[in-house]
Amino acid sequence: MDCIFCKIINGEIPSKKIYEDDKAIVFMDINPNIDGHCLIVPKKHYTDFKELDDEIILHIEKIKREMTDKLMKKLNVNAMTISMNYGESQIVKHVHIHLLPNFIVKMKPEKSVDEVYEILKSED
């Protein structure tokens, strides 16, 4: 399978991981729309969200809540956009969720992915 997310999950392509467990991974988007733009990706390859069973949906929801709290706290924001593209708008055909901190007045990233990664990986 020639899926960039599967290659990231398998360690064939490096990534800026900020969370990982046996079912999912969260890493920084390499072309972020805003500082802190992260992706939640199930480790099993699903091309369509309709393929997800209840267990993985609940697991991803838990991660989504935890990561939203972490991003908001670490990046000092009080709003988030959480999105999932579907169908033709889904560029990578592996189910994933975008987490985008809302900086209200910012319209593009101001920090590098590495800088934001270090902030998110730091201990509280």
Would you state the pLDDT for residue 53?
95
Q: Which residues of 103-112 are buried (b: 16+ CB within 10 A; e: fewer)?
A: beeeeebeee
Query: What integer is the mean pLDDT of 36-59?
Result: 96
For 4-121, CATH number? Answer: 3.30.428.10
Would you state the pLDDT for residue 6?
96
Catalytic residue among 37, 59, 94, 96: 96
Rounded distance, CA 45 to CA 9, Å? 10
Please report, for the chain, the start and end positions of each structural domain, with discontinuous segments joined by +. Answer: 4-121
What is the DSSP secondary structure assignment for residue 33, as one 8-state letter? S
**Band of pLDDT at residue 107, cut at 50, 70 and 90:** low
Mean of per-residue pLDDT scores for the chain: 92
Indicate if 96 belongs to the active site. Answer: yes
What are residue 97's DSSP bridge partners?
Answer: 40
CB distance 20 to 108 below 8 Å: no
- The sign one gets for the Cα dihedral 101, 104, 108, 111 is negative
Task: Give the pTM.
Answer: 0.85
Contacts 24+ apart (CB under 8 A), 59-64: 59/23, 59/24, 60/24, 60/97, 63/19, 63/21, 63/24, 63/26, 64/40, 64/97, 64/99
**Band of pLDDT at residue 124, cut at 50, 70 and 90:** low
> Quick check: 60 pLDDT over 70?
yes
Would you state the pLDDT for residue 122?
85
> Quick check: 88 pLDDT over 90?
no
